[in-house]
Amino acid sequence: MVPRAIKSLTTLAVVAIAISGSFRQPLDGINSQGDAAQSSSPLSQENDPDPTDFSAEELELLQRRFGVHGPQTQLAQLFTRGIDQFQPLRANTLSRLNRLKPSIQREAARHRINPMLITAILFDEIQHSKPGEDLPFVVHSGLVETHGPAQLGISELIHQGRLPADPTYQQIAAARDLLMDPDANIELLAAKLSRLKGELGLERDSILIASRSYVDAKAIAILAYLHNGKLDYPARVLRYMQDPALHGLIYSRIRPKPLPLI
C-alpha cells in the first residue's frame, strides 16, 4: 500500500511534469526493460491508491495545459456501460481488433508503447463509435471531427508536424483519407501516445506497465485522459487493459498442429 503522503507526492510529481515544458527528467520506477505482457497482473492491491483519482489542483493544471474536460454526464456513462454489456457488439469489436492485431503489435514495438494501452483505446473507441461516421461523405462533410478506429482528428496531424498549422482544403481532405486508413490510424495513435509521453517528461523508450507500479499506472491514466479528454475515460481504459479476452487477442500464439507419428 502506498502511504497517502507518497501518493500525493507521486501524483503531483507526474502532473507537474505534464505542466512543465522544460523538465524532462524520467520518473522514478519507470524503465524500458519491463515486459509488456506483465500488465496481465492485477492492477493494484485492495488498499492501493486509485490512479484514476485526480485532485482539483491536478485537474486544473491538466485542463490549463491540455484542454481536457470533466467526466461525461451520468446518463452518458450509464449508456456507455450498457453498450459494453451488449455481447454481439463486443464480439464484433473483438473481431475487428483481431484483424488490426499485426498493426497494433508493429506500432507498439516501433513507438515503445504498451500494446495493451493501444488495444484498450481502440476497443473503447470502436465499441462506442457512432453508426455511419466512417462513411466517406460523412467524413468529408466536416460534421464529425475525429475519424478512424482510434478517433483521431486533423489537429493530431498538426501536432505531429504532418500538416501545417493552417492546412489547405486539399490537405485536409487528404488527411481525412489518411485517418480513415486503419493501419495509418493506429500508427498515428502510437505516435500520439509517444508524443504525449515526451510532453509529460516520460522516457520515450519506457513501456509503461500498470501492474508494475503506481507511477506507471498514474502515467497511463494521464495518457488515456489526454487522448480522450473525458475524466471517466482513464478508468475504462485501465479496466480494458485487464480484460482477459483482449490479453488473449494480443498475446496468444497459434501453434501448428503436430503431424501424427506413423
Tell me which residue has cell 489537429. 155
In order along its 262 residues, the chain shows pLDDT tens digits of 444 444 444 454 555 444 444 333 333 333 333 444 443 334 545 567 899 998 888 888 888 888 777 665 666 556 566 666 667 888 999 999 999 999 999 999 999 999 999 999 999 999 988 878 888 889 999 888 999 999 999 999 999 999 999 999 999 999 999 999 999 999 999 999 999 999 999 998 999 999 889 999 999 999 999 999 888 899 999 999 999 999 999 998 766 666 666 5
What element of type H or E holds 153?
Answer: strand 152-153
Instruction: Using alpha carbons, list the distances in angstroms from residue 128 to 79, 83, 86.
Output: 10, 7, 11
Angstrom distance (rounded) from CA 104 to CA 95: 14
Beta bridge partners of 146: 153
Question: How does 78-88 read in b/e, with b if 16+ C-beta sit within 10 Å?
Answer: eebeeebeeee
- What residues have CB less than 8 Å from 60, skipping those under 6 apart? none
